[in-house]
Structure 1
Amino acid sequence: MLLRRISPLLSGLQIPNRLAARMPGSCPQACVAWASSCLYSKDTSSSGSGANSRNSTSCQRWAYTTTGALLGLGSILLYRSREQKLAEDNQESASGSHMVPPSSSDLKSSVPRSYPVYTLKEVQHHRTLADGIWVTLGKDVFDITEFVDLHPGGNRILLAAGGSLEPFWAMYGVHNQKHVIEILSAYKIGELSPEEQAAGPADLSDPYAQDPPRHPALKVNSMKPFNAEPPAEMLTEAYITPNAFFFKRNHLPVPRLDPASYRLEVGGRMGSPSLFLSLEELKTHFPRHEVMATLQCAGNRRSEMNAVKPVKGLDWGIAAIGNAKWAGAQLRDVLVAAGYKEGEAGALHVQFEGLDRDLAGTGYGASIPYHIAMSSDHDVLLVYEMNGEELPLDHGFPLRVIVPGVVGARNVKWLGRILVSTEESQSHWQQNDYKGFSPSVDWDTVDFSVSPAIQELPVQSAITDPQPGTLVAGEDGKITVKGYAWSGGGREVVRVDVSLDGGSTWHVANLTGEKQTPGRAWAWKLWTLTTPLPAERTELEILCKAVDSSYNVQPDTVAPIWNLRGVLSNAWHRVCVSVMKD
């Protein structure tokens, strides 16, 4: 891997002053070598202790961010060749009207740096790897040729080649973070001419401008794309989660689709023509089915893994989960109408393609096994209603797929195309995301091809009331604890155990929820425990753990299930509170 080749070079690297100034501490040279050993060795899974642990944490504040560690080290490595290129450019432009930048030795002075001046036309000539990849951001010009291979989004960055980064950076809010701006600044080679600067930035539309309004009570984890969860205590106020408070998990801008012109494409059998269905045809030509099902994001409770060691992903709390009544046509009926049958030769997977797209035209995609799609016992629906209402924009209007018992990532929204195939979806989100790994795997050793894509989720439970850190006052000497519990694959939650003393003693909670068919228990159970407060205790460590119908039980701690993407977080949930004394 590239990082494996880069790491041995770091120890002998002399860092230019302008990059060294951005590093923490008084010894940036040592920090780079330190970061290399912290982040890219096979020992990153060990937590360390004492001074070593503190040193590692200090180093990682600089280097271990979602993309900064990877890209920052690459930026430093490539700096020298870039400075050499600057010197060559300066010699070429010395006879012209361009400003001549100082030599590399001048970087040590406090005198502000001057750069060559370029026109947009000159930038546009640099659109290929052979000519160099130049881009602009604001008034600045950057040569990112050497950065293309390090870009975490792959070669999509080439879409901006010879032009502005603005419309592409607008797609993901992470680009506005300080460490990303600093990484880019190391690639600066010049500035736009004053005339073109005066003209101001191009009139570029925000790809998220058409996103729908959201309830202000939601806890926002990212704005672009929009991802948010409700206050945890609201989850157990009702068995069905109201649409406005159902967690929002978007990967791209919300598309605005015209229901009158909308058509769902279903790939035809054995090369036959595709079947195209309007929303009205889906509603009138196929029986309407309802299913009560819980959806959970793969990253639910990721914040607890982040507390053990930083992971890549949104910092979800315990509320990236919700329960709803979904209505629509059975996927099985639609596939039969397209000519498919159970046991179809060569039919191993059903791929779903969404109509939410990035500026490169790439849409969200995922797939599920064919036998699940065709089984009448799995209740897979093409949904156009949620809780008795038209499907909301954030939840996939006009049509989405609901695969009960399966991770939310496979429940594709704004569904545009269905394809039966011998292979899984080749989408990034099926092949290179939403997979689980050993705690020993880091970003230098990860191989996404060796792990299966997450489908069914493990047994889960969490405490929604009381909230962590609150002061509780028992009524009549008693305390009430509330929460939710759910398991994937249609396995029913049969018991929830609750402890008020850190696991020394346990109580069985009361479960509430609709009666469900064995093997098709798609919806969660809400649970409540009212019990006497432990005598003489001023602090309580409340724990919960659920057991499903296969007697699967949650693991007791997070560390043994930690993984670099922070998915499948289902350890015992822990809430510490103080007790109000009379």
Structure 2
Amino acid sequence: MAPAEPEAVPFRPKGEVPFFPEEREGWKGYIEWEKYPEKKKKAEEILSNYDFPNPPEFQLCPLPDKNPVLEGVRWKQYHEAMGPTLKNIPDVSWDYVKKEKSPDMIHVLQFPYNGEPPRNRLVANEHTTNADHFVRNHGGVPEIDADQWSLDISGLVNNPQRLTLADLKDESRFPRQTNVVTIQCSGTRRIEQIHEYPGDGDELINAPWGEGAIGTARWTGVSLKKIIKYCGGLKEGAQHLEFYGADTYFKKSKVYNYVVSVPWRKVKLNEVLVAWEMNGEPMPRIHGFPVRTVAFGYIGARSCKWLYEIKAIEEPSLAPVQMKEYLYYTPQVGKQNAMYSNGFSIQDMPVSSAIMSPVNMDQIVHDGKIKLRGWAYSGGGHWPVRVEVSGDGGSVWYEVQYEQMTKKYYHAWRLWEIDMPVDAEGWLEFCVRTWDNALNTQPTFVRSAWNWDLHVTSSCHRIKIYSINRSKPVTAARLELLKKKGIPIVPITHPLEIDLESEEDYTRRMRAQGGREPDE
């Protein structure tokens, strides 16, 4: 069972318990909302009867860098209020976290599940393992029988179709396609913006991610372009493709299915995949089993899980995830004046990078070089061509050599490492910046690109490291002394229980320096 927040008031239904039946045989936890306005209206009336808990305050009293799990209590209660079809979805979803994800995932939000892998393991492999790939869900995990699954192609297409998974896997109709694609949440590194200035505090919309809300996998499926061609192409006026997911999504006391859209021009470039495999295995349930979309180079929100319908439309979707969320505002827009219309929709991810090892506040003993490892990525069909790191906050930069970077992809990251020369000791600020093939690079500081919804933290990633340089004679002597006495040098905050020097050495050195005070 999913953990409960200790201080949360248990949910108690008011009045008659509603019953919204499951729409299709073999589809547990799925309610079709978008086709039935009267059903949505009834759900909204039910929600209006409750005073759901407010989001927890996690910004004015910021979370530490390694976040404790936020529980998502109100999101659980939204599902409970909808009756038996959705009541157990939070527990079902948590079970899939335990079954399909690594046990040491960093749980950013317990429900709907948001989680990222430990930092050092994210860059251990060029292709992220399924167990370590980050998860950013907007609702619970529906349980869909692959044999009962089908996909409707509707709207402004010449020949609407209903396709089964067997149809999509029929290579006489649809050539199979595999692509290496990085998916990145627009909230990656959001914790840095929160530490700079707090913003919108919705724990689901603006979960406090670290550097791990990014992952790269080999996705296998069918090009959406081929599917549209199979349906006779688009009718005149169709400019966007709308994706429908089977999870239930709540926004401002209203209920929806998860719906987003991408432009037809994106599909024409063969950059949207209807996928059923992830790294050569059937799609994990928590990642959208049996079928999802993968939109290359776009924010992760455009890659729709638990896909059941694709609809050709004239304009971008008016569903809340597309129209009301994932908007980028200027720094002067906030709670006092934000409108949906004065933020622009985030699509292509900008160039960004992060240092994943060492981690912030590490204390490192070294011999004049420190190994740094991390990732670099640019969306929209661009790729990283140069990664530079600095050990002095950005004055002197060292280039990562091409031999120390993984191969180039049109739509995937490059991992990198460097043995960086470090002469100085004490606290140092390390940072990284990346240049892509279009000569785009990163803002220098977080504050340069802060925005109310805390999206797209693409500034130079910075960490503080305490340098202990063993190549320095005095430092080497101190380390040797501590080793003989069995005293560790770290953590540096622990006081030393030995004299720093003898009285004789002190007196000799002070006399050599002319004493503490002038003679006259």
Q: Which of the residues 513, 519, 530 maps onto 2:406?
A: 513
Q: 1:365 aligns with which of 232, 251, 259?
A: 259
Alignment match, 1:210: 92
Could you tell me how far 1:263 is from its partner in structure 2?
0.4
Q: Please name the residue that 1:333 is paired with.
A: 226
Q: Does 1:448 align with 2:335?
A: no
Q: 2:141 aligns with which of 249, 254, 260?
A: 254
2:368 to 473, 477, 497: 477
**How far apart are 1:224 and its partner, in Å?**
1.1
Given the alignment, which residue of 192, 197, 202 partners 1:309? 197
* 1:232 CA displacement: 1.2
Q: Deviations over 1:384-409 (max 9, x none)?
A: 00111111111111011111111101
Measure, in 2, the Cα distance between the counterparts of 1:157 and 1:339: 38
Q: Tell me if the contact between 1:233 and 1:464 (Cα under 8 Å) persists in the aligned partners.
A: yes
Work out which of the residue numbers 493, 500, 517 in structure 1 matches 2:391: 500
Map of 1:125-136 to 2, 5 A cutoff?
Answer: none
State how far apart, in whole Å, the 2-side matches of 1:265 and 1:176 are: 32
Q: Do the aligned partners of residues 356 and 575 (structure 1) sit closer, same or farther apart at CA in structure 2, a change above 3 Å counting?
A: same
Q: TM-score, normalization: structure 1?
A: 0.64
| 2:190 and 2:457 in contact (8 A); partners too | yes
Contact 1:481 1:529 in 2 (8 A): yes
Range with bigger deviation, 203-212 or 421-430: 203-212
Three-state SS of the structure 1 residue aligned to 2:115 is: strand
Report if aligned partners of 1:497, 1:546 keep a CA contact under 8 Å in 2: yes
Q: State the shift of 1:175 in Å.
A: 4.1
* Match of residue 127 from structure 2: 240
Name the aligned partner's letter for residue 133 of structure 2. Answer: F
Residue 224 of structure 1 is aligned with which of 99, 111, 134? 111
Distance 2:283 2:354 in 1: 27
Name 1:282's counterpart in structure 2: 168
Q: Could you tell me whether the CA contact under 8 Å between 1:509 and 1:527 is conserved in 2?
A: yes
Give the one of 444, 447, 466 matched to 1:556.
444
How far apart, CA to CA, are the structure 2 residues paired with 1:204 and 1:556? Answer: 45
Higher helix share: 1
Q: What do residues 299-335 of structure 1 show as CA deviations (whole Å, max 9, x unaligned)?
A: 1111011011112311000110011111100100001
Distance 1:258 1:572, change over 3 A: same
Classify the secondary structure of the residue corresponding to 1:482: strand
Query: Are 1:441 and 1:564, in contact at CA under 8 Å, matched by a contact in 2?
Result: yes
Contact 1:124 1:163 in 2 (8 A): no
Matches of residues 454-473 of structure 1 in structure 2 within 5 Å?
A: 454-473=346-365
> How has the CA–CA distance of structure 1 residues 539 and 484 changed in structure 2, closer, same or farther, with 3 Å as cutoff?
same
- Aligned position for 1:323: 216
Distance 1:550 1:412 in 2: 28
2-side partners of 1:164 and 1:408: how far apart? Answer: 31
Cα distance in 2 for residues equivalent to 1:404 and 1:480: 31
CA distance in 1, matches of 2:74, 2:140: 17
Give the Å deviation of 1:429.
Answer: 0.6
Task: State the number of aligned residues.
Answer: 397
- Higher RCO, 1 or 2 (CA under 8 Å, sep at least 6)? 2
RMSD: 2.8
CA deviation vs aligned residue, 1:24-47 (integer Å, no higher than 9, x gap): xxxxxxxxxxxxxxxxxxxxxxxx
Hey, what does 1:491 align to over in structure 2? 382
> Which residue, out of 422, 430, 438, partners 1:533?
422
Query: Would you say 1:397 and 2:297 are equivalent positions?
Result: no
Residue 522 of structure 1 pairs with residue 395 of structure 2: no
Aligned partners of 1:299 and 1:477: how far apart in 2?
A: 35
Query: In structure 2, do the counterparts of structure 1 residues 124 and 163 end up closer, same or farther at CA, with 3 Å as the change threshold?
Result: farther
Deviation at 1:157, TM superposition (A): 5.3
Q: Which amino acid aligns with 1:466?
A: P
Q: Give the TM-score taking structure 2 as reference length.
A: 0.72
Q: 1:204 & 1:404 partners in 2: Cα distance?
A: 32
CA contact (8 A) 2:43 2:255 kept: no
Distance across 2 between alignment mates of 1:492 and 1:568? 17
Give the aligned residue type for 1:370: W
The secondary structure found in structure 1 opposite 2:169 is helix
Correspondence for 2:433: 545
CA positional deviation for 1:559: 1.1
Residue type at the aligned position of 1:543: C
CA spacing shift, 1:541–1:425, aligned 2, 3 Å: same
How far 1:156 moved relative to its partner? 6.0
The one of 403, 424, 427 aligned to 2:319:
427
Distance 1:408 1:161 in 2: 31
> Which aligned segments of 4 or more residues in structure 1 are displaced greater than 6 angstroms?
163-166, 201-204
Corresponding residue number in structure 1 for 2:495 = none
1:21 is aligned to none
Q: Which runs of 5+ in 1 are unaligned?
A: 1-119, 128-153, 167-171, 181-200
Q: How does 1:344-423 map to 2 (within 5 A)?
A: 345-358=236-249, 362-376=256-270, 378=271, 380-423=272-315
- Separation in structure 1 between the aligned mates of residue 287 and residue 322 of structure 2, nearest angstrom: 20
Name the counterpart of 1:158: 45
| Inter-partner Cα distance in structure 2 for 1:386 and 1:160 | 37
Contact 1:547-1:553 at 8 Å conserved across structures: yes
> Residue 229 of structure 1: CA displacement?
0.5
Amino acid at match of 2:358: P
Kindly state the Cα deviation for residue 357 of structure 1 after the two structures are TM-superposed.
1.5
Q: Partners in 2 of 1:155 and 1:470 — Cα distance?
A: 54
Partner Cα separation in structure 2 for residue 224 and residue 173 of structure 1: 6
- Residue 155 of structure 1 deviates from its aligned partner by 10
- What residue identity is the alignment partner of 2:134? F
